[in-house]
Amino acid sequence: MNGLIDVVLPVFLVIGFGYAAAWRGLMPESAVEGVMRFAQNFAVPVLLFRSIAKMDLGVNYDPGLMISFYAGAFAAFALGLLGAKYIFHRPGPDCVAIGFCCLFSNSLLLGVPITQRAYGTEALAGNFAIISIHSPLLYTFGITLMEGVRSHGTGATLGRVALNALSGILRTPLVIGILLGFVVNLSGLSLHASIWAATDMIATAALPSALFGLGGVLVRYRPEGDMKAIAMVSGLSLLLHPAMAYGLGRYVFALETPALRSAVLTAAMAPGVNAYIFANIYGTARRVAASSVLIATAGSILTIWFWLAVLP
């Protein structure tokens, strides 16, 4: 019970505060949009930039950590896509969007604050290692597959599909922040103390504003229709993914405790708002994506509590 109260509940109270403010009209939709735009386009990219720029790349990029997390993510994607196609008989673009919901964990807005509250700031190295390739890898995969499905039968070349995917990735603020962090880290560039001080100020605002804005965004999502598909997405995201990360991390790769915690807790997060954004960009499976974000985020309160009890 202490784990729920001390670690999980504060994070969801901030989300609930944002939800209540938007639900009661204290934060109009335009204001919520502004908070989320600040968080996602500015504050969170700055947080990622700072984290990657100061990360010890040689120590934190453990292949076992990455495989433990991403094997579960892609397994969930494959089962979600196949379930959408063969159980629910959805068209190709819908199948990709539903699979993407199973693939894209809320690794940043929920995974980082949960891990930080549970184990301290020093325990976040594994989280940021996962996050540093999370958006670039998964967006590249999802966009490329979606462009391939959509262009099937149109005569579009593989090069054109790849170019469309790459241009979409490189315009993403999160990816820009990550890439700039790698530039500073790998080049050894020394930035003035005033720049780091300003970076710290913005980065400090990233998670609270993002969690508050996430709560406001969730007001728009109504759990309606497609409940079997939504249940499948929630189950694959909250049950299969962390179970695979735990099994691989503990019994196959024998990860050290901090890395195991980062892999499993990040995998245990619900689909992020980016899962809905992806579906919305292509106008496919938006109701499934939106409702899955809402329902799985609520359900993750219990699954996160479970993994906090199981993890060493």
For residue 257, pLDDT over 90 is answered with yes
Nearest Cα neighbor of 232 from 298, 287, 296 is 296
Q: Is the pLDDT of residue 263 over 70?
A: yes
Distances (CA, A) of 49 to 181, 183, 195: 4, 10, 12
User: What's the pLDDT tens digit per position in 83-106?
Assistant: 999 999 999 999 999 999 999 998
Count of structural domains within the chain: 1
- How many angstroms separate the CA atoms of 34 and 20, rounded? 17
Quick check: 226 pLDDT over 90? no
pLDDT of residue 1 exceeding 90, the answer is: no
Would you state the pLDDT for residue 279? 81
pLDDT value, residue 158: 60
For residue 105, the cross-strand partners are 271
Task: Tell me the two tokens of residue 157.
Answer: 């070349």
Write the pLDDT tens digit of every residue in 149-168.
Answer: 876 655 556 666 667 666 66
Q: Determine the structural domain holding residue 133 and report its residue range.
A: 2-310
Return the biggest CA–CA distance within the chain.
58
The reported pTM is 0.79
Q: Which of 280, 125, 273 lies closest to 211, judged by CA?
A: 273
Whether 185 shows a pLDDT value over 60: the answer reads yes
CATH of the domain at 259: 1.20.1530.20
